[in-house]
Amino acid sequence: MKSVVPYEECSPLLADTDGLRHAAAARGYLYVRGLCSAGDILGLRREVLRVTARHGLLRKDKDILGGYVCPGANLSENDYTPEFISYYRDLLRIRNFHALPHRPAILQLLSRLIGEPILIHPRQLYHTIFPGREDHTTAPHQDFYPVRGTPDTWTVWIPLGDCGPELGGGLAFVPGSNRGQLRQVRQHGSEIEVDPDSDWAWAPVMCGDVLLFHGLTIHQGRDNQTTDRMRIAVSFRIQAISEPVDEHSLKPHMRWIDWEGIYADWEKDDPLRYYWKSFELKIEAHG
């Protein structure tokens, strides 16, 4: 990335629906500082790190909230190892993870952005980026390729804790790339070619900050440059209920566990259980 500028912050637009939508259409991303309660985010971070500790991945001599990993602990979802699969299944069982996108402040923002009844995809993702895995830093891509359904799906990315430059900060975006076409991907992946002279937007992000971006917006991760700390974030997708949704977006991420396995310890009448089944959806088979 030759040219990198800070994100354009859009908190002043939260009460200006037209301005918010204009900014979203022009940039392809929105950065909202402090949208979420830091206490809520840190509560979920603690739950994630307790699971991480149970799997023997955290140092016992450090504060758990620091996310300090044991020497040599560098799991990646791209490895498909039994160790990572077991770890990820346990993360997906955390109820507060599934409840996060349904919080009022987030719902209000999403409703303003979309302008009609919305669907929050139940397939939510963790991004647990261990140090020493630069080979698995997410390359430039557009989310439509793995998500399908409508290209007007938006991804919401939330860091679970402060992400300074050494941890990679937030995602990097090519502003305005949402106004282009779906790019050709490389074989056996979702990576795309990007003009080396493209301008990028990137910045450190703090606990409570939120990033949103369109399904055609070109974006990528940045390396966790620490030697002993995890970068933890979560993401989920939202769209208009009236638009088509891919069948896989209604299944747990990675499909290493089913919904009944995730809900095993939840209350039987929990309103988050299968909430999307109350909507009339245009479900597309995954081809």
- pTM for this predicted structure: 0.96
Q: What is the pLDDT of residue 187?
A: 61
Is there a contact between 108 and 232 (Cβ–Cβ < 8 Å)? no
pLDDT along the chain (287 residues), means of 10: 91 96 98 97 98 98 98 88 96 98 97 97 97 80 94 98 97 96 76 91 98 97 95 98 98 97 98 98 89
As its CATH architecture, domain 3-284 has Sandwich (2.60)
Q: What are the structural domain ranges in the chain?
A: 3-284
Query: Which has the closest alpha carbon to 182: 137, 156, 147?
Result: 147
| DSSP of 173-205 | E-TTGGGSPPPPBPTTS--B---TT-EEE---B
Q: What is the pLDDT of residue 287?
A: 65
Q: How far apart are CA 57 and CA 92, in angstroms?
A: 17
Q: What is the pLDDT of residue 137?
A: 79
